[in-house]
A = this chain, B = another copy of it.
Amino acid sequence: MSNKIEVNPETAGMGRRRFINTAALAGLTAGVAACTEKPANAPATAASGPAAAPAAAHTDAANATHLKPGELDTYYGLWSGGHNGDMRVLGLPSGREIHRIPCFVPDALVGWGITNESKKIMGTKPDGSLRYTVGDTHHTHASYKDGNYDGRYAWINDKINSRIARIRLDYFICDKITELPNVQGFHGIFPDKADPVDPAINYTTRVFCGAEFHIPLPNNGKDVDSPEKYRTMFTCVDAESMEVRWQVLIDGNCDLTATSYDGKLAATNQYNIEGGAHYEDMMSAERDACAFFHIARIEEAVKAGKFKTYGDSKVPVVDGTREANKDPKTALVAYVSTPKNPHGVNASPDGKYFICAGKLSPTCTVIELAKVLDWFDGKSEKLDNAIVAEVEVGLGPLHTAFDGRGNAYTTLFLDSQVVKWNVEAAIKFHAGDKNAKYVVDRADVHYQPGHINASQSETKAADGKYLAVGCKFSKDRFLPVGPLHPENEQLFDISGEKMVMLADHPVRGEPHDFIIFKRELVRPKQVYSHDDFPLAIKDPKESGVFRNGKKVTVKLTSQAPAFSLREFKLKKGDEVTLILTNLDKIEDLTHGIAIPKYNVQFVVNPLETASVNFVADKPGVYWIYCTNFCHALHLEMRTRMIVEG
C-alpha cells in the first residue's frame, strides 16, 4: 500500500550557494528539460547575470527606509502570516510590523479563541471548544472601488481547512469566517473589482476562491481509489454576507486567482489538469491551463437552476468542466493553455492582461482579456489566440508585480532573482520582432523568492515606487536563531530604470502574498463604540454579580487603575459568564484581564466589551489582574475572585 520514494540525501557538506541551486532543482530535471528550448537570441538568456546596484545608489535610497524617530511610514502592507494563520500589518518603507490580526488561529494577547465573541467568529464544536486551532494563510487582497482599494475589507484564505476570513479595515479585526463546502486546499483568493453586468456597482461585491486539491464528491469515504474521478471547485463568496453564492466544478487544480477590472472575468491558473495523484503524474502533460470564468453566464445558469448540490451542502454548483464547456457561446469556463504547472496569475494595472508565470517553464504567458471575451462571444476561433506573449524570463518564474509604467517584475525561484521585463516589448517579441528587448533589469535576491508585489501593483493606481519580494529562504542573512530561520522580505526601490535593493526584513514564516497601498486609502478607527457590542456595560454602576441558580453573570468595567468590582464571590460549580467593558475611551488605553489557573486572558480596547464563560471548579482566592500596562498603578489593578469551596 505504501509507495516509498527514494531521494538521494547526499547534499550535506555542499557549499551553501551551490546547495540552493541543487536542492531547488532536484526532481525538476525532467520537467524543466522539456521547457528549456530557448528561442534564438532570447534577451533573457543574453542578459549577462545580475545587475548589481551601484553602492552610492544604495546608500541614498536605503536611508529613505530608515525613518527618523516619530516619522510615519507612507504605505501600509497587508501580509499573510502563512502557517501562523494570522494577517500582519506592516509599515513601509520601514518594514516594521505594526500589528497582527488573528483570524484562523487563537491569539493569547487579545484573547482570540478565548472570548465568546471571537469563538463565535472562529467556530466551535458542540462542546464549545474551538473547531480548529491551526490555519495556513496564503493570499490576502482588499476590497476595490473604481479599480483602487477602498479601505473597507481585506480577505485571507486558510488552505488547511478551506476557510475565508474577512478583515475590517476600520478596526483592523477579523469579523467573519466562512468554511467553503465541497473543496479541499482552498488556496487562491481575489475580490472582484466591479459587477459584470451593473456598471453602477463599481466596487467589490464578490470574492473568488480557488481550491487546489481534487477530492471525491462528496468526500465521504466512497470512491476514494479513483483519483481520475476527483474534482475541485472554484467558489464565489458574497463580500458582505460572507455566504457562499455558488461554485463551479472544474478540471485541474487551482493555484492563484485574479479578476478583471471590468468585473466580467475571474481566472485561476491551474496545474495537474492530468488529475494525477503523484507529482510525476501532475507534471506529465506538456501544458496546463489558466481557467477563465464568465461571471455573468455562471450567475445566469445558477438563476436558471442549472446546477447540482453535493452532500449536505446547499450551495449551487454549475458544471465548468472542459467536457461541458466546449461551445464558446454557452461556455461558463474557458481553459486557455499555459506551459505545464504554472504558478501565479496576476492582472496588469492597465486592465488588459493576465500573466501566468511558468514555474516549470522558464516563461511568462501573457493572456489578453479582450481576446478571451472574443472567444466567449464567438468572435475568436481558437481560445489560445488570447495568448499574446509567452517569453522566456529565467528559471522558476512564480509571481508577477507591476509598476504602472508597463513593466512587470517576476520572481525567479530557481535563479533567486527578480526579472524586470516590459510587457509590450514581450508582446512584440512574441509576435516576431526578435529585436524587442523585453528584459529591462535583473536583481539577485536572497534566496528563492515566491510572491512579489509592488506598491499599489494590483490596482489602476500602480505607482512603481516600492517592490517587496518574499524570499522563502534567508540562510545567512540574519543572526542565527537555531534551526528555524525567518523568511526574508526584501524591499526594492523601483522608481528608476534599475531596481535598487533597500533592506532585508526578517519575518516569521511564512508570508506568501501581500499587498502594499498608500496610507490615505484606509480610515482606521481607534476607539470602539458601545453600539458595537450588545453586551456593553455603559456605567460602572451596572457592575455586579447576577445569579440565576448556578448560572452567574459577572459584570465588570475597567477604568485605569481599577476594575469596578474590588472583589466578588462565586460558589464552586457556578457556570459563570464574565462580561468586561473598558470604559476608558482614550486612544491606546487598553486593559487586559487574566484569571490565574482559569485559562482566561483577553484585552479590551477603549470602549470594547468582551465576555468569557468558565466553570468555577477550583475553590480558592484568584487575583484577577490587568495584563496590559495602563497606568502607574497598573500592578495594583486587580480584583479578587473568591470561589467558595
A170 pairs with B544, CB closer than 8 A: no
Residues of B near A622 (CB, < 8 A) are: 184
A324 within 8 A of B: no
Residues of B near A91 (CB, < 8 A) are: 478-479, 506
A221 pairs with B136, CB closer than 8 A: no
A442 within 8 A of B: no
B633 pairs with A27, CB closer than 8 A: yes
The count of chain A contact residues (Cβ–Cβ below 8 Å) is: 188
A283 pairs with B636, CB closer than 8 A: yes
A359 within 8 A of B: yes
A536 → B minimal CB distance (Å):
14
Among B474, B566, B594, contact of A160 (Cβ-Cβ < 8 Å): B594
With CB as the reference atom, state the residue of chain B lying closest to A272.
B636
With CB as the reference atom, state the residue of chain B lying closest to A584.
B9
B72 pairs with A68, CB closer than 8 A: no
A296 within 8 A of B: no
A567 within 8 A of B: yes
Residues of B near A501 (CB, < 8 A) are: 69
CA distance A85 to B599 in the complex (A): 12
Q: Indicate with 1 or 0, residue by residue over A151-178, a CB within 8 angstroms of chain B CB atoms.
A: 0000000011110000000111100000
Residues of B near A85 (CB, < 8 A) are: 108-109
A600 pairs with B631, CB closer than 8 A: no
Residues of B near A606 (CB, < 8 A) are: 483
CA distance A63 to B67 in the complex (A): 10
A3 within 8 A of B: yes
A500 → B minimal CB distance (Å):
10
A310 within 8 A of B: no
A98 → B minimal CB distance (Å):
5
A596 pairs with B185, CB closer than 8 A: yes
B509 pairs with A628, CB closer than 8 A: yes
A24 pairs with B596, CB closer than 8 A: no
A70 pairs with B594, CB closer than 8 A: no
Residues of B near A633 (CB, < 8 A) are: 27-28, 279
Known A63-B63, A483-B605, A620-B221; contact A509-B632, beta-carbon cutoff 8 A: no
Q: Indicate with 1 or 0, residue by residue over A532-571, a CB within 8 angstroms of chain B CB atoms.
A: 0000000011011100000000000001111111111100
A23 within 8 A of B: yes
CA distance A272 to B623 in the complex (A): 14
A247 within 8 A of B: no
Residues of B near A586 (CB, < 8 A) are: 11-12, 14, 19, 23
Residues of B near A583 (CB, < 8 A) are: 9
A65 within 8 A of B: yes
Known A479-B519, A482-B99, A644-B224; contact A396-B170, beta-carbon cutoff 8 A: no
A441 within 8 A of B: no
Known A160-B594, A479-B76, A484-B603; contact A279-B632, beta-carbon cutoff 8 A: no
CA distance A132 to B108 in the complex (A): 11
B632 pairs with A220, CB closer than 8 A: no
A494 → B minimal CB distance (Å):
15
B635 pairs with A343, CB closer than 8 A: yes
Residues of B near A644 (CB, < 8 A) are: 221, 224
Among B508, B526, B562, B565, contact of A279 (Cβ-Cβ < 8 Å): B562
Q: Which of A4, A135, A567, A569 has the most CB of B within 10 A?
A: A4
Known A108-B83, A628-B509; contact A566-B482, beta-carbon cutoff 8 A: no
With CB as the reference atom, state the residue of chain B lying closest to A623.
B213
Chain A to chain B contacts (Cβ below 8 Å), 15 pairs: A9-B559, A23-B589, A63-B66, A65-B66, A70-B504, A72-B479, A83-B592, A109-B508, A109-B510, A136-B601, A160-B594, A162-B596, A184-B622, A224-B620, A473-B588
5 residue pairs, one from A and one from B, having the closest CB atoms: A221-B645, A221-B619, A172-B482, A483-B605, A66-B66
